[in-house]
Structure 1
Amino acid sequence: MDRKERSEDEIPVPPWRRSRRSAPPRRQLSQDLIVETGLRVLDSEGFDALSMRRVAQALDTGPASLYAHVAGKEELLELIYERVLGEIRLPERDPARWKEQLRGYALELHGMFRKHPDVARAALASIPMGPSSLRAAEFTYGLLVEAGMPPQEASLAIDRLSLYLVGDAYEGALHVARMRAAGMRDQAEYFESFVAQIVSYYRSLPMEQFPHLANHVDDLTAADGEDRFHYGLALLLDGIEARMPKS
């Protein structure tokens, strides 16, 4: 073939020029992709870093393109909570084992919040509306009603249990945020430092004014977060059991 007959694509690139690489194809924007990306930002950077602009940046697009799929940050948080709540495994409801099953549900939720701590801030004041939330609410509420608890009292019991689970997780999320702000990455190191400050301060209190706090500071700080969670959960479940109608 004559040199003149070569197509332009066959002309070699001069050695002083960089060859252009084709950009990888973008994933098609969707609500699922936005939620997935939002959760990734939430887990890695924290609640305060999450915004529609930040999610758009992570997706290499403009914020305006997100609004065709998600109304705003508030809806994004609701969808993220729905997404992670879908990770919870629920057995077939057995009212004869209501306490065991309710404990299992609480531990599942606790584990989910440990995996995604900042999601707890999205869960506060959340009313079950999506499929995952409704599924969890139907399971827990139905468990107590079928076990014999009056529906109105069962509603109050589940409400208080849910608030305990989310509140405990929210406190953990605040500690994670403080740890990030301090530039620390190791949670054990952070909590060791945090408790050491409390111990030092309580021991400096005037003994005549605060004898119990000063004398029992080691007992006050002995239990870790997991111990405290399980103790509180047992208190709540035992309290619900005490109010369950006797057969």
Structure 2
Amino acid sequence: MEARVTQAIPTPPWQTPPKPPPRQPLSQELIVTTALRVLDAEGLDALSMRRVAQELQTGPASLYAHVANKDELLDLVYDRVLAEVDIPEPDPARWAEQVKEMLRSLRQVFRSHRDLARVSLSRIPLGTNGVAGMERTMALLRAGGLPDDIAAYAGDLVTSFVTTETLDDAFPGDGVDTSAVQAYVAQIHDYLTSLPPDRFPNLTQMAGPITSLDSERRFELGMEIIVRGLSTYAEPA
């Protein structure tokens, strides 16, 4: 039995037609929220002042009263999302694990918002949330006994590591053909193993680890290498 399609019927002439809900007043917060929604759904290439204005049912010129340009909009979007990163209160006894917890949280935030890792590549986090996050990150790194110059560089190092690892992962909805990726990586593996072992002993022997697609293991291993390396700079309390 076919389902019936219910069509709307006109309002009787003696009744007042229902009014559309009032539009929310335009504000910087609303613009940033809408831009983040567009970014998550459609990606960075689709995000523009015009696209956000279209989503808000207004003209692009209306947005410029609250946001200077797309670059500032991306700064605001990035700063909004940084509030989601969990940075633990420093506990020197758990320093190494706390650094890993922070990096896992940052990675999860990057993976939860489409193309956010790309946005972060050209941004210095100097917004309200970004500066607060930098302060907590420095406090955490210094709690491990790291000298100031090492802690300062480590802040950039770990962020770059998470960004790069996230860029290597496909975001759900990106339309990446995982079977094609696996087939391509398999070809690389076969090529490395086919090289003359007398000339390329390391590549032939390490073809498996080099072409591994286990992103979780690679991320955890990378964190372990970085944290162990940083711990060697720790000074006595």
TM-score range, shorter chain: 0.7 to 0.9
2:19 aligned with 1:22: yes
Amino acid at match of 1:43: D
What is the correspondence of 1:98-137 to structure 2 with a 5 Å cutoff?
A: 98-137=95-134
Contact 1:195 1:221 in 2 (8 A): no
Contact 1:81 1:123 in 2 (8 A): yes
The alignment's TM-score, normalised by the length of structure 1, stands at 0.80
Contact 2:146 2:230 in 1 (8 A): no
What is the correspondence of 1:85-104 to structure 2 with a 5 Å cutoff?
A: 85-104=82-101
Q: CA deviation at 1:94?
A: 2.2
Question: Match for residue 34 of structure 1?
Answer: 31
2:96 aligned with 1:82: no
Query: Which ranges in structure 2 are unaligned for 5 or more consecutive residues?
Result: 1-11
Q: CA deviation at 1:97?
A: 2.4
Q: Which protein has the bigger helix share?
A: 1
Q: Structure 1 211/117 Cα, relative in aligned 2: closer, same or farther at 3 Å?
A: farther
2:158 to 154, 157, 161: 161
Q: CA deviation at 1:200?
A: 2.1
Amino acid at match of 2:210: L
Structure 1 vs Structure 2 CA RMSD: 2.7
2:195 aligned with 1:207: yes
Report the 3-state secondary structure (helix = DSSP H, G, I; strand = E; otherwise coil) of the residue aligned with 1:53: helix
Report the 3-state secondary structure (helix = DSSP H, G, I; strand = E; otherwise coil) of the residue aligned with 1:243: coil
Report the 3-state secondary structure (helix = DSSP H, G, I; strand = E; otherwise coil) of the residue aligned with 2:86: coil
The higher-RCO structure (CA 8 Å, 6+ apart) is 2
CA distance in 2, matches of 1:106, 1:51: 30
The alignment's TM-score, normalised by the length of structure 2, stands at 0.83
CA distance in 1, matches of 2:151, 2:202: 38
2:219 to 224, 229, 235: 229
Equivalenced residues, count = 224
Paired-residue identity, % = 41
Question: Match for residue 220 of structure 1?
Answer: 210
Amino acid at match of 1:151: D
CA distance in 2, matches of 1:130, 1:226: 30
CA distance in 2, matches of 1:219, 1:229: 13
CA distance in 1, matches of 2:189, 2:153: 37
Q: Structure 1 65/87 Cα, relative in aligned 2: closer, same or farther at 3 Å?
A: same
CA deviations over 1:7-54 (Å, ceiling 9, x no partner): xxx9559xxxxx965333211111111111111111111111110001
Q: Structure 1 215/90 Cα, relative in aligned 2: closer, same or farther at 3 Å?
A: closer
Amino acid at match of 2:27: S
What is the correspondence of 1:177-192 to structure 2 with a 5 Å cutoff?
A: 180=174, 183-184=175-176, 190-192=177-179
Contact 2:142 2:148 in 1 (8 A): yes
CA distance in 2, matches of 1:147, 1:213: 37
What is the correspondence of 1:1-20 to structure 2 with a 5 Å cutoff?
A: 12=14
Question: Which of the two has higher C-alpha Rg?
Answer: 1
Amino acid at match of 1:207: L
Report the 3-state secondary structure (helix = DSSP H, G, I; strand = E; otherwise coil) of the residue aligned with 2:66: coil
2:10 aligned with 1:47: no
Contact 1:56 1:62 in 2 (8 A): yes
Q: Structure 1 128/176 Cα, relative in aligned 2: closer, same or farther at 3 Å?
A: closer
CA distance in 2, matches of 1:140, 1:105: 8
Contact 1:52 1:73 in 2 (8 A): yes
Report the 3-state secondary structure (helix = DSSP H, G, I; strand = E; otherwise coil) of the residue aligned with 2:168: helix
